[in-house]
Structure 1
Amino acid sequence: MMYLTRRSKMYRRKCSVSWAWIYYTHWGTFHTLQPLIAQLKAGEDVAVKPVNEFYYSYTYLNVEKCEAKDSIRLMYVVKSALQNFDKRMGIRNSWGFESRFSDVEIRTVFLVGMKPDEPHLQKLLAKEVEEHKDIIQANFSDSYYNNTLKTMMGLHWTYCYCQKVKYFLFVDDDYYVSTRNMLRFLRDPANYPNYLENYVVSAVNEYKEYLYAGYVFENAHPIRWVFSKWYVSLDEYPYSEWPPYVTAGAYVLSRKSLEDLYFGSIYTNKFRFDDIFLGMAAKYASIKPFHHKEFYFYRKLYDKEGYKWVIASHGFDDPKELQEVWSEQRSAGNA
């Protein structure tokens, strides 16, 4: 493994930025990360430097979204394409509505990149930011194969600015989400939804210090068929099996798990598939992902009763349909 690095200063807890050029032949460093993570959390210098820090500048930070008198129970961190103005509006008018529960502090932000060849989109975004103040944007190209950069931006931004947030749901902008079920799940992840059959709980839940949950794949293999969209060559990934990983469309992190995953990510070489990249980072940071079937990485066939316990479901590209489904589930007491 070879690394060639140039750094302007030592890594500090203040989220300083540095540059790295890496020859990718492995997941990352050959070191136990837990002692390094402890040192970095304490703001100490470390002998083994990160290999993959997020160094892009922010166009819009909107750190006010992380400010609160006490604590923020849940933050939706929505990965959105720059041009998806209608999807963001559909989310604000449905599951991303921050005042859904008067006794629970919830925030919603959207992560976007840049499209330098379409300057009119940036002008429209500026108006959106002025009106809603919920956009986080950094100076990298907004494209499918830069989803890992968008994920890194989300980890960097939340780690640096959102100390008062207890849980984060990272989710794509084509998902249906039930806030009620999300909060129910956080109360007792291992027994959701079975425990709800015995008694009714309020939306104020207990806090689980370490949680990284979603739909988990174990023992999955790289696709070697060259015509596949997800083809991975042996040069890019010379191993026969992926690490356990959570599908990147929707996953929830407690604050402490987010911190460890953030540090795991900066010691993990960049990989173009964001869910695999997070699987690598989680394994490095000794985080075990928790599987739950009510996170649907595919479009669960909709019917009113069938969505009673759904936490998140992929496949809602139409904002109008999203709002209709969410409204029906809210009326049924499921959202």
Structure 2
Amino acid sequence: MVKDSKASKDLWKCIRSLNPSQQEKAYELLNEDGVKTNNVSDICLQNSIHYGERKSFWNNTDQILSDLKEKVSSNIIPLNSLLLETVFREDPVKLFEVFESVELLFVVKSHILNFGKREAIRQTWGYVKQLRIKIIFVLGHLHNMDHFADLESKWHKDIIQLNIEDKYENLVYKTIYALLSLSKLNIRTEYVHCVDDDRLVNAINVYDIARQNIAQSDTVMLGFMVNLSRPARSMTSKNYVSFEDYPFLYFPSYIIGGTILTNMKTIHMLSIGIQYVRLIHIEDVYIGMVATAFKIEMRHHSGFLPFKKSVLMFSSYLSSPGYDHAYALLRDWTLIEQNEKINTKR
């Protein structure tokens, strides 16, 4: 049976809006244990009367995918104009000139003012002796603060900074241009994890899960997946989306932005897809739209927590949010190390 929840009610409402043949297909995806919501919601997205025509958001993706298989590129004109030549304050190629092959690359979206949080990450989960990992922080710019970011970049050599104001509405551009630069430079890494700077990450667990679930030939993203999410229509919400920007009832399935784990093949496909899918400012939703349009598989993994858990459970999860202050990350990392020493002595 389907559990009585808001998401379930929304799902049934969505199913009822389909025509009979589409409803039959949706019902086939239901089972006694519950709803395969990602599959059913995809049907709703593709066919529901609430969505109307999708061509205003992406066009000819089937043709583009066919072109890519045959000749590696497509002649279809992109919807978005993305200028790599001018968007970076300093060419990322300089950052990767001495870049060695790594097992896991962390792309950390960080506000320019979060100097302490970045330093805390470097001293904690960003430094793991057991793995070959690399941390890259993606920042925007802020008047009178760029000089300090320049000094930090010269010292640590782990920062990509955009010529775009560092505010929440521009978060999507950090992800977009990080993907484009990684794809263009063809970074040598087995896996890529896109993460926010307020997370505590278990790098070893993340790498192990990647090896178990993501083949290098796959186009797939792993993370905490959200289904049947509605756009925020209240103008007081930081996630407000107008009907003009997004007129549909539901968002496609998407993975929370701070939890995306993938490989370079998928990075290449995403970097192509973002050129052909109309932009909205909600970063994780937008990447979900690109994945849906370009048939990139999304898989849910509960190890990427949507809420903070005790550090005593650190060994069992992949990442936890809730670290808005550097001291909290440093404090909990010390507790983790102390707990590991105690367990080793037993």
Q: TM-score category by the smaller chain?
A: 0.7 to 0.9
2:66 maps to 35
Taking a change above 3 Å as real, the CA distance of residues 145 and 25 of structure 1, as seen in their structure-2 partners, is farther
More helix by share: 2
| Equivalent-residue separation in structure 2 for 1:69 and 1:54 (angstroms) | 25
**1:157-236 superposed matches below 5 A:** 157-189=181-213, 207=216, 209-236=218-245
Shift of 1:239: 1.0
2:82 maps to 54
**Does the aligned pair in 2 maintain the 1:76–1:171 contact within 8 Å?**
yes
1:16 maps to none
**Does the aligned pair in 1 maintain the 2:61–2:294 contact within 8 Å?**
no
> Counterpart of 1:188 in 2: which secondary structure?
helix
1:310 maps to 317
**Does the aligned pair in 2 maintain the 1:215–1:297 contact within 8 Å?**
yes
Taking a change above 3 Å as real, the CA distance of residues 47 and 177 of structure 1, as seen in their structure-2 partners, is same
Shift of 1:69: 8.4
| Equivalent-residue separation in structure 2 for 1:330 and 1:63 (angstroms) | 35
Return 5+ residue gaps in structure 1 as ranges: 1-23, 191-205
Taking a change above 3 Å as real, the CA distance of residues 53 and 95 of structure 1, as seen in their structure-2 partners, is farther
2:264 maps to 255
The equivalent position to 1:91 in structure 2, one of 110, 121, 125, is: 121
| Equivalent-residue separation in structure 2 for 1:320 and 1:240 (angstroms) | 41
| Equivalent-residue separation in structure 1 for 2:56 and 2:156 (angstroms) | 41
- Output the TM-score relative to the length of structure 2: 0.76
> Counterpart of 1:289 in 2: which secondary structure?
strand
Amino acid at match of 2:147: K
2:28 maps to none
1:127 aligns with 2:187: no
> 59-68 or 123-132: which moved more?
59-68
Amino acid at match of 2:126: G
Matched residues, number: 285
Shift of 1:325: 1.6
Shift of 1:28: 2.2
Q: Deviations over 1:195-237 (max 9, x none)?
A: xxxxxxxxxxx75633301100112222233433323222221
1:108 aligns with 2:142: no
Taking a change above 3 Å as real, the CA distance of residues 69 and 239 of structure 1, as seen in their structure-2 partners, is closer
2:6 maps to none
- Output the TM-score relative to the length of structure 1: 0.78
Return 5+ residue gaps in structure 2 as ranges: 1-53
Q: Deviations over 1:5-27 (max 9, x none)?
A: xxxxxxxxxxxxxxxxxxx9822
Taking a change above 3 Å as real, the CA distance of residues 188 and 232 of structure 1, as seen in their structure-2 partners, is same
| Equivalent-residue separation in structure 1 for 2:125 and 2:273 (angstroms) | 30
Amino acid at match of 2:140: G
| Equivalent-residue separation in structure 1 for 2:100 and 2:240 (angstroms) | 47
**Does the aligned pair in 2 maintain the 1:297–1:314 contact within 8 Å?**
yes
Q: Over aligned residue pairs, what C-alpha RMSD do you find?
A: 2.4
Taking a change above 3 Å as real, the CA distance of residues 114 and 69 of structure 1, as seen in their structure-2 partners, is closer
| Equivalent-residue separation in structure 2 for 1:231 and 1:288 (angstroms) | 27
**Does the aligned pair in 2 maintain the 1:67–1:164 contact within 8 Å?**
no
Taking a change above 3 Å as real, the CA distance of residues 160 and 330 of structure 1, as seen in their structure-2 partners, is farther
Shift of 1:185: 1.2
Shift of 1:137: 1.1
| Equivalent-residue separation in structure 2 for 1:267 and 1:295 (angstroms) | 29
> Counterpart of 2:260 in 1: which secondary structure?
strand
**Identity level (%):** 26
